[in-house]
Amino acid sequence: MQVIPVAFRGERAVSAPLTIGQLNVAKWLAGSPNSPAALLDQRLPIPPGTPLPAVVAALGALLSRHEGLRSRYTMGDPGEQRVLAAGEVVLRVLPATEKDRLADLGRAEPLDVASDPPVRFLAAGTADCITDLVAVYSHLVVDFQALMVVHREFAALLLDPAARLDAVVQQPVDRAHAERQPSRRRRQEQAMRHWSRHLRAAPAHLYARPRATPGPGSGACGMSSQAAAQALDHIAARTRVSRPTIVLAAWCALLHRRTGYDTCRFVMLSANRFESDLRDFVGSLAQSTFVAVEVAGAGFDELVRRTFGAVLQAGVNGAYHVYRQNESTRAVMAERGLAPSFEPLFNSSVVDTRGFDAPPPRTPAPTDLAWADLPPTNILLRFDLGQIDDTVVARVWTGDTGRVTPSEARELLLALERLLVAAAAADLDPAGVTAALGLEPIERPPGWHLIDGCWVDLAEVQRLLDDALGPGAARLSGPDLTAHLADPALTPELAHERCLSLLPGRHAAITPRRYVVEPHDA
């Protein structure tokens, strides 16, 4: 293995607090330091016959161009980002036979962004010919849209390290200063009000349903569908709306049919790149935000338009100070007695750059579906969209295969595909949407009740009481969720605190609405 220094030289050495996007990632990393998502890897474009010096020059130009890639970071609130004016990052060059291991090698150890560069570079090949190049970044310094900027710019710099690319209008340090202006703070406050308002109305788990099998498990069903991709092209040409938004509209139609909720209200990610000076920004800007899509009574094209408006509204309210937002969130969760997962229920890493002209039709390949087991998680249901060009690549995954079985995950993906294909030929009225989905509503037996917007299993709430307070310490009565406390040592406040602490991961439970201390003999 060769170790090659990649030198950089920028225009300034400067410090600033962390941006709110960086704070968002830093807080998440503090709670999940070993998460696979803490690092993002990227395979950069290498034309055949590219020599090592050309790669080194392009990487050096890229580091010089983007201050976030040559900074050191101190975590916490407000934290600090320190831009280095000059320095170097190591490029490790391995034999060409190691090309498939580059990403794994780069991920083998965490990145210490306080003292080391927030990016690693690994290449395969020789000095005469580099065949593969992988960059591994801390999520603190890039999000998925930043990766697209890096990919595009590296390709240009590899052709000419002195290429005159458009000037970087805003660096992360500039962003941090801008976010502290009064007008930006007002927008952050508005975003937190948006979050709290929807958190007060959202169900704990939009897809709460009875258990189908007793065994726990976690996994995902992936789909590759050329038929869905062709359908998206035709729907986009008709509606003039981006293809990821169309997929989200179809997903909301599916959720409405299965759950019975007229409004699909859940967490998704906002890219937070609405401003023109963030077009070439390399940094982490994406944050979670609530989206609320009114589904009831809409035909498919109308639902697409509603979804587009809801996504815009959510995106406008997607940038906030995460520490302050968390304080508000904890208060609302304790007040409502909920422990929702704030993982995005719909997560798209796709940026739609294609226009609205549908390509000529072709015969699609058969749709491929495959299940994979995953590490345990508290997420009940999530939809990931990873590709839309030529083939829709998506997956439905769950941390509770007892409620969302592998076969159900498969059927949800196929229903989504059926709806898109049916809507490709012409708009569908509400009955046509239902028919195309081919799904029945979730059946809930006696003992399930809709309480505070959440589908709740009374038996699961009783189990929560038994686990939190001890068997026989509390008895649940009626659909009003009253807990009768038999243990004289328990107060309502203590009982509620203990129930809240054991609530995460219980997808069919919320805490009792009130606690009554039963009289007992002195």
Per-domain residue ranges of the chain: 2-172, 182-437, 448-517
CATH number for the region 448-517 comes to 3.30.300
Work out the number of other CB atoms within 10 angstroms of the CB of residue 197: 14
Segment among 160-169, 323-332, 403-412 with least mean pLDDT = 160-169
Helix crossing, 492-501 with 322-336: angle to 10°? 120
The C-alpha atoms of residue 396 and residue 411 are separated, in whole angstroms, by: 10
Confidence at residue 413, expressed as pLDDT on a 0 to 100 scale: 98
- By residue count, the chain amounts to 522
Residue whose structure tokens are 């010096």: 53
Q: Give yes or no for residue 324 having a pLDDT over 60.
A: yes
> What percentage of the chain has pLDDT greater than the value 90?
88
Please state, rounded to an integer, the average pLDDT across all residues of the chain: 94
| Whether the Cβ atoms of residue 19 and residue 278 lie closer than 8 Å to each other | no
Confidence at residue 389, expressed as pLDDT on a 0 to 100 scale: 94
DSSP run (H or E) holding 14: none
The C-alpha atoms of residue 384 and residue 318 are separated, in whole angstroms, by: 19
Topology annotation, domain 182-437: Chloramphenicol Acetyltransferase (3.30.559)
Q: How far is CA 124 from CA 42, 129, 156, in A?
A: 14, 9, 20
> What's the gap between Cα 264 and its chain centre?
17
Q: How far is CA 465 from CA 472, 495, 515, in A?
A: 9, 8, 11
Q: How confident is the model at residue 353 (pLDDT cuts 50, 70, 90)?
A: confident
The C-alpha atoms of residue 2 and residue 122 are separated, in whole angstroms, by: 10
Q: Give yes or no for residue 351 having a pLDDT over 90.
A: no
Strand ordering across the sheet containing 368-373: 287-294, 263-270, 346-348, 382-387, 392-398, 219-225, 368-373
Average pLDDT over residues 398-417: 96
Q: What are phi and psi of 186, to 5 degrees?
A: -65, -40
Work out the number of other CB atoms within 10 angstroms of the CB of residue 487: 16
Segment among 234-238, 246-250, 275-279, 513-517 with least mean pLDDT = 275-279
Cβ neighbours of residue 501 closer than 8 Å, sequence gap 6 or more: 468
The C-alpha atoms of residue 13 and residue 8 are separated, in whole angstroms, by: 12
The C-alpha atoms of residue 78 and residue 68 are separated, in whole angstroms, by: 17
Looking at domain 2-172, what is its CATH homologous superfamily?
Chloramphenicol acetyltransferase-like domain (3.30.559.10)
| Whether the Cβ atoms of residue 126 and residue 96 lie closer than 8 Å to each other | yes
Average pLDDT over residues 410-431: 98
Structure tokens at 522: 């002195």
Residue 487 vs residue 140, higher pLDDT: 140
Confidence at residue 263, expressed as pLDDT on a 0 to 100 scale: 98
Confidence at residue 522, expressed as pLDDT on a 0 to 100 scale: 52
Closest Cα partner for 469 from 494, 449, 505, 438? 494
DSSP run (H or E) holding 401: none
- For the chain, how long is the longest CA-to-CA vector? 89
Which regions of 442-495 does DSSP assign to beta strands (E)? Answer: 448-451, 454-457, 474-477, 482-485
Confidence at residue 27, expressed as pLDDT on a 0 to 100 scale: 93
The C-alpha atoms of residue 314 and residue 244 are separated, in whole angstroms, by: 15
Collapsing DSSP states into helix, strand and coil, what is residue 292?
strand
Whole-model pTM: value is 0.92
| Whether the Cβ atoms of residue 433 and residue 419 lie closer than 8 Å to each other | yes
Structure tokens at 425: 């030929």
188-192 own/partner pairs: CB under 8 Å, 24+ apart: 188/20, 188/319, 188/320, 188/321, 190/317, 191/289, 191/316, 191/317, 191/318, 191/319, 191/320, 192/320, 192/321, 192/324, 192/325, 192/328
Closest Cα partner for 320 from 21, 18, 16? 21
Segment among 95-104, 155-164, 247-256 with least mean pLDDT = 155-164
Buried residues in 4-42 as b, exposed as e (16+ CB within 10 A): bebebebeeebebbbbbbbbbbbbbbeeeeeeeebbbbb
Closest Cα partner for 249 from 360, 381, 385, 364? 385
Closest Cα partner for 320 from 200, 179, 461? 179
Q: Give yes or no for residue 46 having a pLDDT over 80.
A: yes
| Whether the Cβ atoms of residue 287 and residue 270 lie closer than 8 Å to each other | yes
DSSP string, 370-390: EEEE----S-S-EEEEEE-SS
Q: Hey, do 2-172 and 448-517 end up sharing a CATH topology, with the first three levels equal? A: no
Cβ neighbours of residue 327 closer than 8 Å, sequence gap 6 or more: none
Average pLDDT over residues 363-392: 94
